[in-house]
Structures are given as structure tokens and as C-alpha cells.
Structure 1
Amino acid sequence: MPHLSSEVPVIDLALLSNGNKMELLKLDVACKEWGFFQIVNHGIQKELLQKMKDASSEFFKLPIEEKNKYAMASNDVQGYGQAYVVSEEQTLDWSDALCLIIYPTQYRKLQFWPKTPEGFKEIIVTYASEVKRVGKELISSLSVIMGMQKHVFLELHKESLQALRLNYYPPCNTPEQVLGLSPHSDTSTITLLMQDDDVIGLEIRHQGGWVPVTPLSDALVVNVGDVFEIWSNGKYKSVEHRAVTNKNKRRISCAFFLCPQDDAEVEPLDHLIDAQNPKLYQKVRYEDYLRQSLKRKMEGKTHMEVARI
């Protein structure tokens, strides 16, 4: 459904942070009807975005022997390789990835942080800190549209888990036969994605079809994660999305997952449950929810079954 690409909502973070009523209303509609939006005026320097893209590109160009020095262990989610691989017969996605936990800092496993290109670690830390700031701004606004004080959601993300996933999608001669990333929803509260400006790859499920998200220069794409869907008792949807490949161009994207702390108990908020809106999800401990989902291959929203009543 490419004709709907231009309708993917665009939110101005500067207006949102100032409590602009119209922008808050746009955010509410975006989370309810799309589960996805792009943000502009987020304050992250254009140079930093470019540095992050360039350094990621340099890393993925390295010889496989070099990248394998940071290979993901079978019982871990950090490192180079593909997560969500649960069987030898599984068809793998047409992509390469590097996953790192950034916050809390004591969870960082620096043996998986590439030493090439030079200065990559510093670029990652600077970028992550800026995206964390933007994420917190958004979480404050999400608190407001759910009828609560700004600080309520931030309290649940004080020691939150924040992970970075760098994705590399090489060109493919038969793009119609593969997917860069299988359809799935995210287990996060929200996800913030930086993608290349000049190549379309991200598609989101909307009204039963797939809508490509056309990149806006220097914008970030934000999507609602499962945690936010559960807290809102299904009012806001974590939407399935996928990445497609193409014949001519490689594509890089950089996803930053903002999640509640491990021991947070996630369940629908009391004030969103009444006779017309019965409780749709049971209480889940976030760490357990995450572990359960990592044991399955990516298949749409099937991993949410553990939380559904």
C-alpha cells in the first residue's frame, strides 16, 4: 500500500516538549491508529546522525573473520549475528546485525563493542545518550496522553534496559524471495529508529496491508512497543513491521529499544479498565516477558500470547 506512505504521521518534538495541545493530539492519534510516526526537531545534530551511519557502514564492510570476533554467544543477545534463531531449519533473514546493551552501563559487555572503525565506541555512546534524551521526552508525553502526570512513566524507566541494534541489509538479486527482517512487533516500550535517507526498506502493517515508511531527512522513526500496548490495555497498538530488500542498494538502520527495568511488573493501568473496556492482559514481569519472546522465532505478534488474557 505505497499510496499511504505520505500519511504516516510526522510529530514535531519541540512542540510536543512544550506541551503543545495540537501536537499531543497528533501523538495520541498516531499511537492509536498507526502505532508508528516520524519525529522531527528532535535536537540530535545532523553530524552525529551521519557519523553513526558511516561508522556502522564501515563495521559491516569488514571481512567476516573480523566481524566474527564479536560473534553473539548462543545464550546471549549481545554481539554480532542474528537473534531469534531457534532451529537449524529456520530460514534466516537477509541481514546482518550487531546488538549491544547500552544502559544500565553495568550491563555493557565491552568484548562485543567493535574496535574498528576507530572511535566507534565513542560515537555509539554519544548517539545513545542523545536518543535516550529524546526517548525520555516522548515517554513524558505518552504519560500525558494516557491521562497521567508527565513523570509517571519516567519512574518506570529509571534503571531501564536500553539496547541498540545496528542492521545491515545487503542488496539481493531476488528481493521478492527474501525478507531483510521478518514481520514482528517490538518487546520495548518504544523503539527509535534511524534509517538511511535515500532507500526505503521499512514497511508497517496498516489496514491489512504493508505501507512503506519513506525516510524524511534527519527524522527518527518511532514505534509503540508491546509494553505500551499492555499498559494502555490495547488502546495503543504495537504494530507489526518488517524490512524488505532491493536489488541495487544496501541499507543501514539503527534501532534503539527503550524498555522498562527488568523487574517492572507490566499490566493494564487501572484507570483504563471499566465495564466497556475489560482487562485484556495479565500482569507480566518484564524480564520474563523478554526471555519468552527471545526463545521464539519472529512471527508477527505471536509472542504476546503469554500476556493476553
Structure 2
Amino acid sequence: MGAPSPTPLRSKKARAPGIPIIDLSLERSKLCELIMKACEEYGFFQVENHGISKEVISRVEIEGQNFFSKSALEKQRAGPPSPFGYGCKNIGSNGDKGELEYILLEANSHSICERSKSLSIDPQNFSCVVNDYIQEVRDLACEILDITAEGLRIQDKSIFSKLVLDTKNDSCFRINHYPSVNADSVDQNCNPKTRIGFGEHSDPQIITILRSNDVGGLQILSRDGLWLPIPPSSDKFCIFVGDAFQALTNGRFVSVRHRVLANSEKPRTSIMYFAAPSLNACISPIPQVVSFEEPSLYRPFTWGEYKSAVYSLRLADHRLDLFRNKDIM
């Protein structure tokens, strides 16, 4: 996975005007129009009135806080990540690092039940809390995927969501904790304004649902090369188009590159659900987005093949380029 990219010189002046914030209670046709536009132009948007209860959110936040407040020795008993479990600073196995610690879990109840034994003094409660949260955000992901299918004028509105609902889906759940920055912990050779919490990357899955606390740091990369800061909001969810979705839509939707800066005086916590298909699911542009004028940009590949490529590369690498049709470059 990849070395953090240097900050473009112009990023200091970058702002986030027009970053879409979409009200999910809007009338369906308007909602569809806004989500399509956001997926095509940014590969990112925020949603409000999402219907996920504050209680479900609060309970999973508390479980995260309880774990990350443990001693280093206690937390290490839940690691090292392989790739699932507890990790600290190391991101993947190819040399990428960040100023964070995290829990990464498979998003299925059996795996969560097993992992919870090393994560909590009350494994049963931890499992219930995390599974309840995953169910809610999975429903949100599927709702958004069905709306995009509608926007692409696909008769089978579940063409994308059924990949995520497959009983063998490879979705995962992650909690990132970025400790607050203080004078004692900062590398004196590092510019505190560009201290990398999690380096530049795109998400390989279909779609990501992220929620964070009220601490900033998340930035997305615009098409003109500017890093746009995303204002923190604990009552909204961030939606990211992933690599697999870009391939499925033949590049019509953009897999957004993003990063997190760890320059806050307060700790940042983010909770993510990465919606992925099963390992043997075929990823290729759907027929409705391919034509003589717009031929298929990507050769067919399985999610398992793509996942293997992801784990073999650096965080910032453009992994999807490996699967482009060589006749169309």
C-alpha cells in the first residue's frame, strides 16, 4: 500500500466549496440526481437524515474508546494485524506508516464474535454493538447503491447492492484512532501542518461509509490536484466511491483519493464500513455503461484478484491501472 504523497503547494489555500451534503429525506428523483452528480464529480459526499440511530452510533463509539484507552500491552494482545486485529502506526505490510492505531475486523458476525474475545472484557456486548452498527451502515450503503443503479437507468436496481448482501461478502469494519498531537510527540523535522495520520490512498472496495467525531483532518483530492479539507461533523456520514465501483461503472464514478492529517490538539476517531463483494465476484464494467463510443476501460477480474494486488502494493499506488484494458489507455 503507498508512501504518503507530498502536499501540493496549492493545498494550503484549498477549501471545500461545493462538497456535496445530501439530505436523504429528499424526494427520490432529486436525491438520485444529487448522488449521481457527487459520484461523478467528486467520488465523495456527505449524507444527513440518514436514519441511523444516535444510540447505535454512541454504543460503538464507547466500545472504541474503551479499547483505545487500554494500556499498550493490553492492546497488543489483540494484534498484530494479519490483516485483521489491532495495529499501531504500520499500515499494511509494505512499509506504510501513519500516526494512528486501529482495529480492523471482517464484517461478519462469526468473525466479530471470535475477535471480540481479545478486544473487550465483555465480548458478547462488543459483538452485539458492532454487529448492530454494521447492519445499520450496510443498509445505508445498499440504499445508496440502489439509488445509483436507478440513476444509471439499470432495470435491476439491486445490481450493486446484491454484491454486498452476498452471504460470502468480503466487507470489513474499521475503527481508526488518531492520538492528539502535543509538543512532546511531534517529530521536530516534521511540519506539524502536514503530519500524516493516514497517507494518500483510494479505497479498493465498492463503497465506504465513514463517521468521525468532531475533529478534522480528513481531506479529499480534487480533480485539479487540490487537497480539500472536509469539515468534521458527528451527525453526518461520509460516502466514498471505491475502486471496484469505478470499475463497475466504467470510470463514470470516480474512486476518490483521500488522506488524514494528524495535526489536531484533540484525538480523532473514525469508524468505517467498507462494502465489498465476495472473493469470487467478477468485477467488470456493467453492460449498461459500455458502448462502441465508450468501450470497456477495464478487463474483468475477481474481487479476490484485486484484493491480492492491493496487499502487494503500497498505499498510494494506483492499483486499478493494473486492470485497465491495454488497448484503451
TM-score by length of 1: 0.90
2:284 matched to which residue of 1?
267
| SS at structure 2 position matched to 1:38 | strand
| SS at structure 2 position matched to 1:29 | helix
What is the deviation of 1:151? 2.0
Structure 2 vs 1, CA of residues 137 and 177 (structure 1 numbering), >3 Å: closer, same or farther?
Answer: closer
Q: Does 1:165 align with 2:174?
A: yes
What is the deviation of 1:211? 0.4
| Residues 289 and 306, structure 1, Cα contact 8 Å, conserved in 2 | no
| SS at structure 2 position matched to 1:92 | strand
Q: How many angstroms apart in 2 are the aligned matches of 1:107 and 1:143? A: 30
Deviation string, structure 1 residues 168-220 (Cα, Å, up to 9, x no partner) = 111233534631001000011100001112x1111000121100111234110
Structure 2 vs 1, CA of residues 267 and 91 (structure 1 numbering), >3 Å: closer, same or farther?
Answer: closer
72, 77, 85: which one pairs with 2:93? 85
What is the deviation of 1:260? 1.2
Q: Does 1:288 align with 2:305?
A: yes
2:162 matched to which residue of 1?
155
CA RMSD of aligned residues (A): 2.0
Q: Aligned AA for 2:86?
A: Y
Q: Which stretch shifts more, 109-118 or 171-180?
A: 109-118
What is the deviation of 1:247? 4.4
Point out where structure 1 has 5 or more consecutive residues left out of the alignment: none
Structure 2 vs 1, CA of residues 157 and 217 (structure 1 numbering), >3 Å: closer, same or farther?
Answer: closer
Deviation string, structure 1 residues 7-60 (Cα, Å, up to 9, x no partner) = 210122233xx6x11111000110000100001111111122222223212211
Q: Does 1:111 align with 2:115?
A: yes
Q: Aligned AA for 1:9?
A: P
Write out aligned runs for 1:77-226 (5 A): 77-81=83-87, 82-86=90-94, 90=95, 92-103=97-108, 105-108=109-112, 110-111=114-115, 114-116=119-121, 119-148=125-154, 149-159=156-166, 160-172=169-181, 173=186, 174=190, 175-176=192-193, 178-197=195-214, 199-206=215-222, 207-226=224-243
Point out where structure 2 has 5 or more consecutive residues left out of the alignment: 1-10
Tell me which stretches of 4 or more aligned residues in structure 1 moved more than 6 Å.
none
Q: How many angstroms apart in 2 are the aligned matches of 1:292 and 1:112? A: 29
TM-score by length of 2: 0.85
| Residues 216 and 264, structure 2, Cα contact 8 Å, conserved in 1 | no
Q: How many angstroms apart in 2 are the aligned matches of 1:13 and 1:295? A: 38
Deviation string, structure 1 residues 75-126 (Cα, Å, up to 9, x no partner) = x22100144222xxx35111111100023x4554613551147733322111
| SS at structure 1 position matched to 2:165 | coil
Aligned residues: 298
Structure 2 vs 1, CA of residues 77 and 112 (structure 1 numbering), >3 Å: closer, same or farther?
Answer: farther
| Residues 158 and 261, structure 1, Cα contact 8 Å, conserved in 2 | no
Q: Which stretch shifts more, 289-298 or 151-160?
A: 151-160
| SS at structure 2 position matched to 1:256 | strand
Q: Does 1:232 align with 2:274?
A: no
Q: How many angstroms apart in 2 are the aligned matches of 1:123 and 1:250? A: 22
Q: How many angstroms apart in 2 are the aligned matches of 1:102 and 1:269? A: 26
Deviation string, structure 1 residues 268-289 (Cα, Å, up to 9, x no partner) = 1122122321211110110111
Percent pairwise identity? 27
1:40 matched to which residue of 2?
48
Q: How many angstroms apart in 2 are the aligned matches of 1:52 and 1:4? A: 31
| Residues 163 and 276, structure 2, Cα contact 8 Å, conserved in 1 | no
